[in-house]
Structure formats: C-alpha cells, structure tokens
Amino acid sequence: MANQHRVSLAFVILSILVGALMLATGIYIFASSFWRSITSFVIGCYYILFGVFIILFEIIHIPQVQKFIAFYYYWIGKGLLFIFFGFLILQDHGFFLFVGIVILVVGVLLCVMHFILPAPTALIVRERHSSDYGQKHSHTTTTTTQSQHNSNP
C-alpha cells in the first residue's frame, strides 16, 4: 500500500511537471508571436490556461469541478489528455520537440498505470462535510413535501 502511494505521488509530481511545461510553452508562444498571428496568440493562451489548471488540479481536489472533468480523475483520462496535448505541442525542433516528447511519455505512462493502480488523488483532497450536505437536502425535501400537502384541499 505504501509503495502504491509513492508511485501515485511520483505521477502527481510528473503531472505537475507537465503542467509547468505546458505553462512555459504557452508563455513562450504568447511572448514570441503576440503581434504576428492571432492563432498563435490564442493557442498560447490555451496552453497557459491548461497548464495552470493541470497544476491546480494536481494539488487541490475541487469536488464541484470533478463532475465536469471526471475523465481527469482517472489515470487513463489524464494520460489521454496529456497525449493529446503532447501531439499538439510536438514540433520538429528545440524546445517544442523536448516538451512534446516529455508530455507524450508521461501520457503513455499514465495510460499504463490505469491498468496497474487504482484512481489517482490530488495532493490536498477537500471533502465536504457529509452531515451538512445531508441536512441541506433533508430540509429541502421536507419543505417541498409540506408545501405539496398544504396545497391539496
């Protein structure tokens, strides 16, 4: 069990590295082609945005967001996303070649890990208090039921 936790932590660190590389790629594209091409400008903004989100979601678990990006909370979903971005970044020279290969390798490793380890977790997992959640829903249900009974003569 402790060995699985160490491996999971290593992949969280690798995913943070991928996020940092995407952020650096976005800043590089954004800075180098700011006035040349609107397409490069937008792609740079996307890489910056996704780099920040990858780093954020690796460090902090946000349950409200998990329902919208549920695929990211599984090894294979995260791996396929990294493979997608790795191919988008991959070019035939220098920095983009390095970053593309690193992201592709991490993505493939994450896909393989899907068949070996259970689902990954963020470094800081925030949990809602189940008692507060249950009280809110039971109050809503009670209020709804009472209003339905009062409306019937």
Q: What is the pLDDT of residues 123-141, one digit of tens each?
A: 666 444 333 444 444 444 4
Average pLDDT, integer, range 80-107: 93
Give the contacts of 50 (CB within 8 A, at least 6 positions apart): 19, 22, 26, 85
User: Above 90 in pLDDT, residue 17?
Assistant: yes
Angle at 140 (CA atoms; ends 139, 145), nearest 5 degrees: 100
pLDDT reported for residue 70: 83
Residue 87 vs residues 6, 72, 105, 145: alpha-carbon distances, Å: 28, 18, 11, 54
User: Which contacts of 44-50 are long-range, i.e. CB under 8 A and separated by 24 or more positions?
Assistant: 47/22, 47/23, 47/85, 47/89, 48/22, 48/23, 50/19, 50/22, 50/26, 50/85
Q: For residue range 41-80, what is the model confidence (pLDDT) as tens digits?
A: 888 899 999 999 999 988 888 888 888 888 888 888 999 9
Q: Which residues pair with 124 in a beta bridge?
A: 60
Give helix 2-32 / helix 94-113 axis angle, nearest 10°.
150
- Give the confidence band of 150 by pLDDT, cuts at 50, 70, 90: low
- Tell me phi and psi for residue 61, to 5 degrees: -95, 120
DSSP code at position 117: S
> Do the beta carbons of residue 47 and residue 23 sit within 8 Å?
yes
pLDDT reported for residue 121: 65
The two tokens of residue 5 are: 């936790």
